[in-house]
Chains A and B, each alone.
Chain A
Amino acid sequence: MMRSLWIAKTGMEAQQTQLDHISHNLANVSTHGYKRSHAQFEDLIYQNLRQSGAPETEQTNLPTGLQVGLGVRPVATSRTYTQGALQQSDNPLDIAITGDGFFQIQRPDGSTAYTRDGAFKVDSTGQIVTNNGETLLPGLTVPPAAKQISIGADGTVSITTAANPTPQTLGQIQLASFINPNGLNPQGQNLYLETASSGAPQVGAPGSNALGSIKQGFVEASNVNVVEELVQMIQTQRAYELNSKAVQTSDQMLQRLSQI
């Protein structure tokens, strides 16, 4: 009946999606290794109700046409993979990546997931696991006799025991990077999965091939900027209000029409 009602509806929906993203970011403001994400918008297609330059008579052309756009839609979720702040912790198995790259995690179904959350633990069998108990790849087993675990910047894990003070190397943690990390599929539990658009993982030792290096005794905090989120929230709320005003105005016009 009236395009503007539906156009304003697309505007309200888009702002609502943005607010969903903002709320999710704020909820994860203290999640280790969380990367903030926002919705990106694009304008919908345009309807040419009258083509400008179309002949009006044999001699004259229409100087201007009438082109009505049909609103807006959220086109993509853009995740910002900037470095989060490093928080010091006293746990030797808390490791953070400074630079690009993801830890590789083996999921229970055998597939590989990727994470930036480096708060690892040792489980009952001595495996280095995430908070959810999924194994860090390549699987490293810490012997029960281990007294001290040290993890180097290049990912080398070594231990010392009470009997043997010379460090013994257990193995090396490998990192994976993607050409388009924005294409990764977030799974929750701080994990991401590879997709066709992220490209195949490029696995390497930390510090090599543009991969970041590892810092032991630190965890990477969320990269959510609270001030930015709040400002964005204000902007989103006002834009939502303006669009609801457009709905109201259109409604009043139709109401007036029905009264004659």
Chain B
Amino acid sequence: MDRMIYNAMAGAKAAMQRQDVLSHNLANVSTTGFRAEMASFRAVPVRGDGASTRVYALETTLGHDDKAGPWNRTDRKLDVALVGKSWLAVQGLDGTEAYTRAGHLDINAEGLLVTPNGLPVLGDGGPVTVPPNTTVQIGGDGTISAQGATGRPTTVGRLKLVTPEAKLQRGEDGLFRAADGADLPADANARLESGVLEGSNVSAVETMVGMIAAARQFEQQMKLLSLSQTQGQVGAKLLSPT
């Protein structure tokens, strides 16, 4: 009986955490280049005396969903969307190289190519600087060219694009890194499209259905909790001296 109540509690807690993960995905349903977090329950048996009925449920996140998000045409020259499983290299706040799919780029006052939150975007030789008074274009292979007054575009660098073989892992800052933390080599064959932004790959339908399922599951655990309460009461009544 006491085991049942703890089992049901663990189940309810896992359903609540599932709800947290799903809410986060739903909150980012229109975040550029967002990758949905995948969640699953894991069975954790507790072995001991007697019948092994104590199997707790734990909520776990398996990592991100790496299917591509929808492309939206913006016609802004500094918006890029990556083709296939390639990623854009940026410099994280801790100075390490990190990867993102959000290709909304800007130029800051120093002429550095940056992401909206000010992280420098990396080219093949570190951060990319763009000369003032020029129009910047990004080619299909990440080549950045600046066109000045003379009308002749000059190449100022090339965005570092990587195509990881193993799945990247999301850090606490929302940027992705390789599992071993090492920098990935630039991929010469990676391609991008400029004037396009990749939307979030969260499926609203899937998330909503998952949410309903989690809510119902939670309800069932609540039912089990109240059931174990009734059971306890009946047991206590049987044993009580009358």
Contact = CB atoms under 8 A, between A and B. Distances in A.
Interface of A: 2-5, 7-8, 10-11, 14-15, 18, 40-50, 52, 63-72, 75-76, 78, 80, 82, 100, 177, 179-180, 182-183, 196-199, 202, 208-210, 235-236, 238-239, 242-243, 245-246, 249-250, 252-253, 256-257, 259-260
B1 interface: no
A243 B218 CA distance: 19
A75 to B, nearest CB: 5
Contacts of B15: 253
Contact of B37 (A67, A76, A245): A67
Given A4-B22, A68-B21, A245-B208, A41 B28 contact: yes
B205 to A, nearest CB: 10
Q: Mostly helix, strand, loop or mixed at chain A's interface? A: mixed
B26 interface: yes
A239 B97 CA distance: 32
20 contacts: A2-B19, A3-B23, A4-B22, A4-B24, A45-B173, A46-B171, A64-B62, A67-B61, A69-B28, A71-B23, A72-B31, A179-B132, A180-B109, A209-B148, A238-B204, A242-B208, A246-B27, A253-B218, A256-B222, A260-B229
Contacts of A253: 15-16, 19, 215, 218-219
Which among A82, A243, A253 has the highest number of chain B CB atoms within 10 Å? A253
B6 to A, nearest CB: 15
A250 B18 CA distance: 11
Contacts of A50: 58, 60
Given A7-B23, A49-B17, A246-B23, A82 B130 contact: no
B149 A15 contact: no
Given A8-B26, A11-B26, A76-B117, A43 B40 contact: no
Given A43-B28, A239-B204, 19 more contacts: A4-B20, A8-B26, A11-B27, A11-B29, A42-B102, A45-B172, A45-B173, A46-B171, A50-B60, A63-B42, A67-B61, A100-B135, A179-B130, A197-B108, A235-B30, A239-B29, A245-B208, A253-B215, A257-B222
B211 interface: yes
B149 A209 contact: yes
Contacts of B225: 260
Which among B21, B58, B208 has the highest number of chain A CB atoms within 10 Å? B21
Interface of B: 12, 15-17, 19-24, 26-32, 34, 37, 40, 42, 58-63, 74-76, 102, 104, 106-111, 116-117, 130, 132-135, 147-149, 169-174, 204, 207-208, 211-212, 214-215, 218-219, 222, 225-226, 229
A43 B135 CA distance: 30
A5 B23 CA distance: 8
Nearest to A1: B16
Contacts of A71: 23-24, 27-28
B30 A69 contact: no
Contacts of A177: 133
B108 A183 contact: yes
A250 B219 CA distance: 11
Contacts of B28: 11, 41, 43, 69, 71-72
Contact of A249 (B104, B108, B148, B215): B215
Contacts of B58: 50, 66
Nearest to B12: A257
Nearest to B110: A199
A196 B225 CA distance: 60
Given A11-B23, A48-B172, A68-B17, A209 B133 contact: yes
B211 A67 contact: no
B108 A180 contact: yes
Nearest to A67: B61
